[in-house]
Amino acid sequence: MAEKLIGEEEQHKHATLQKNTTKEIHLLQLLQFFILSILFPKPGNTVPLLHRIKTSLARDVPLIPEASRNTAHYILLWTRAGTPLRSLLVISVGTITLVSLTGLLVFMLFVLAATINAVVISLLISLAAAGGFLALFFAFVTAIYIGALSVAIFAISTAVFWTTVAILITTGWVAFFYTVWLATSKSLGFAKHSLSATGSAITTYSASWGTRNLPQKD
């Protein structure tokens, strides 16, 4: 009991410290706090693993919105402070992440729908049949379920992979054309500056040469 109270007191102190730094916390820091508090507790903290997980979830989950806003604000400032290539990098990485998360969400929804469908059909058939027919039916349902999940995994993984490849190729071409355009504009600017400097030098030399060759009056 005393060890549990000690663990709860330490968790409370840690939570209080995190609340004081909520405005500065980011998603990566929040993830580090979550993992460290579960896998690497403080010396003398003998709280069970499940209790540490529960306490960490109760402490860190409410901080996710604030950490997300801080992370988005930091990324926005970092993007604005750089060149357009940095903006292109952020857009491409964000698009790939969004596509990956969308594929994961679609797969999870498919698994949920397939599981509910299999359970409902199994319950309905179990009410109308028994014995060997029921066992055979369950075997067929299991085979269909595994096959459908395999097809879904292959289709979603293929779509996500080729979408990611297309995004990377598009980003590469955009970056290439932007680099060519930037180099061309810099070269034209340098050539224009060189021509202006050369013209000014020629004008100055011509004026000085004409001044030296003017007839002197007695």
pLDDT in tens, 112-170: 777 777 777 666 666 555 556 666 766 677 777 777 777 877 887 888 888 888 888 88
* 94 and 57 both lie in a single domain: no
Residues of the chain with pLDDT under 70: 1-23, 45, 121-135, 137-139, 201, 205-218
Task: Tell me if 75 sits within 8 A of 26, measured CB to CB.
Answer: no
Task: Select from 61, 81, 101 the last residue of a domain.
Answer: 81
- pLDDT given for residue 151 in this prediction: 81
Task: Tell me which residue has tokens 């952020």.
Answer: 90
- pLDDT given for residue 130 in this prediction: 55
* 98 and 76 both lie in a single domain: no
* 37 and 109 both lie in a single domain: no
* 182 and 205 both lie in a single domain: yes
* 88 and 188 both lie in a single domain: yes
Task: Tell me if 171 sits within 8 A of 94, measured CB to CB.
Answer: no
* 63 and 152 both lie in a single domain: no
- pLDDT given for residue 122 in this prediction: 67
Cα 144 to chain centroid, rounded: 35
* 98 and 9 both lie in a single domain: no
Task: Select from 47, 64, 81 the last residue of a domain.
Answer: 81
Tokens of 41: 């507790």
pTM: 0.54
* 17 and 118 both lie in a single domain: no
* 130 and 45 both lie in a single domain: no
Give the domain extent around 23: 1-81
- pLDDT given for residue 1 in this prediction: 44
Residue type for position 30: L
Task: Select from 32, 54, 81 the last residue of a domain.
Answer: 81
* 9 and 108 both lie in a single domain: no
- pLDDT given for residue 217 in this prediction: 46
* 23 and 75 both lie in a single domain: yes
* 100 and 176 both lie in a single domain: yes
Q: Domains in the chain: how many in total? A: 2
